[in-house]
């Protein structure tokens, strides 16, 4: 019954947002459309994600503030929080265990440009561990991620390619992707990652998309679970390489961290500065699927209004 309620809630959100937007006063919309935001200056964002599967639920909230030095170059700093609903409860009269812990603070530098009619973005992100993996949702080590996005636009069709390299997996807040947001695990170890896909714009405020992704690790790897707590005496099985469902920490060669699969999603952008995205990701390697709901808010106009800088 709980899953049906959550699915109903997602559907209501997706379809009520356009209705609310259409009900806005048209003169107010024209006034907003006439306003322009300088490409330089302060920026801000907030992102909330929930993923639901038969193995548990992960909630992630992230906020960040930044500054665009030029129209091409800028940076951000931010923090995140995780709440996990795990089936591995250590209390005998509870079916679920709820845990809320901080994630690693992050800092990024980003460069955006156009190249031969294509949009290109490159982002370098570093994470700072607050404590050991047992105390926060973290690997306990400094992390680095280099991420690149290239896309084109052709009559409402947007093919894209993403590729990068990292010292582990981390949730991205600049151009977040379905396969790497609010995972039930975190990896420490060098890997290359990539994704290719396409999205289609429908009725101006909607888009649908699909992609295939892969994570290719190299050398020794560590996998930290967000479902199995360090003090948990119970856990699930490790079928289909799902070590993160069987133990808090697993150490091994590259095969324990490998992943590949595909995603599909729907975007609704009817209210200014807010995008709602709902979709599904399936990992072929782990034979595991999850539905997700993501809210992305661009707070640039708000922070510039509050700081009187625009």
- Distances, alpha carbon 202 to alpha carbons 59, 158, 267, in Å: 29, 12, 10
- Give the start-to-end residue ranges of the domains of the chain: 2-21+40-306
The reply to whether CATH 2.40.160.40 applies to domain 2-21+40-306 is yes
Query: Does 28 score more than 50 pLDDT?
Result: no
Report the distance separating Cα 36 and Cα 300, nearest Å: 12
pLDDT for res 33:
40
Phi, psi of 39 (to 5 degrees): -70, -15
Per the model's pLDDT, the better-predicted residue between 182 and 140 turns out to be: 182
Query: Does 32 score more than 70 pLDDT?
Result: no
* Residues 74-84: tens digit of each pLDDT: 999 999 999 99
Query: Does 244 score more than 50 pLDDT?
Result: yes
Q: Contact, 107 vs 76, CB < 8 A?
A: yes
pLDDT for res 135:
65
E strands present in 90-156: 97-102, 106-115, 118-127, 143-151
DSSP 287: T
Q: Which of 7-21, 30-44, 82-96, 281-295 has the lowest mean pLDDT?
A: 7-21
In the numeric block, which tokens belong to residue 261?
Answer: 């699969």
133 CB-near residues (< 8 Å, 6+ apart): 139, 140, 224, 230, 248, 249
Query: Does 11 score more than 70 pLDDT?
Result: no
Query: Does 22 score more than 60 pLDDT?
Result: no
Mean pLDDT over the full length of the chain: 86
The whole-number average pLDDT for the span 261-287 is 95
Query: Does 49 score more than 80 pLDDT?
Result: yes
Three-state secondary-structure class, residue 30: helix
The whole-number average pLDDT for the span 220-248 is 91
How much of the chain, in percent, has pLDDT values that exceed 90? 66
* Residues 295-306: tens digit of each pLDDT: 999 999 999 988
Angle (nearest 5°) at CA 306 between 302 and 308? 110
**pTM for the full model?**
0.83
* Residues 160-219: tens digit of each pLDDT: 999 999 999 988 999 999 999 999 999 999 999 999 999 999 988 899 999 999 999 999
Please, which residues bridge with residue 281 across strands? 263, 290
Q: Contact, 269 vs 294, CB < 8 A?
A: no
């Amino acid at each position: 019954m709980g899953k049906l309620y959550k699915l109903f809630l997602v559907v209501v959100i997706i379809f009520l947002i356009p209705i609310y937007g259409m009900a806005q006063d048209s003169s107010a919309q024209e006034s907003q459309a006439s306003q322009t935001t300088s490409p330089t200056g302060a920026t801000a964002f907030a992102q909330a994600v929930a993923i639901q599967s038969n193995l548990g639920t992960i909630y992630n909230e992230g906020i960040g503030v930044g500054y665009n030095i030029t129209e091409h170059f800028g940076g951000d700093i931010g923090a995140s929080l995780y709440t996990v609903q795990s089936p591995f409860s250590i209390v005998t009269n509870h079916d679920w265990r709820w845990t809320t812990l901080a994630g690693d603070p992050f800092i990024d530098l980003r460069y955006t440009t156009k190249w031969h009619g294509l949009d290109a973005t490159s982002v370098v992100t570093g994470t700072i561990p607050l404590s050991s993996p047992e105390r926060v949702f973290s690997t306990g080590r400094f992390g680095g991620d280099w991420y690149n996005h290239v896309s084109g636009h052709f009559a409402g069709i947007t093919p894209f390619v993403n590729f990068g390299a990292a010292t582990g997996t981390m949730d991205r807040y600049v151009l977040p992707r379905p396969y790497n947001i609010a995972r039930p695990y975190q990896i420490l170890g060098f890997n290359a990652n990539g994704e290719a896909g396409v999205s289609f714009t429908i009725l101006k405020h909607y888009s649908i998309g699909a992609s295939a992704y892969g994570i290719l690790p190299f050398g020794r790897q560590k996998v930290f679970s967000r479902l199995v707590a360090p003090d948990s005496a119970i856990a699930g099985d490790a079928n289909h390489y799902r070590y993160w469902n069987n133990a808090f920490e697993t150490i091994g060669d590259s095969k324990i961290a490998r992943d590949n699969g595909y995603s599909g999603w729907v975007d609704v952008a009817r209210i200014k500065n807010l995008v709602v995205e709902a979709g599904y990701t399936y990992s072929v390697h782990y034979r595991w699927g999850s539905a997700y709901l993501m809210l992305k808010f661009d707070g640039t106009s708000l922070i510039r209004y509050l700081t009187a800088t625009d």
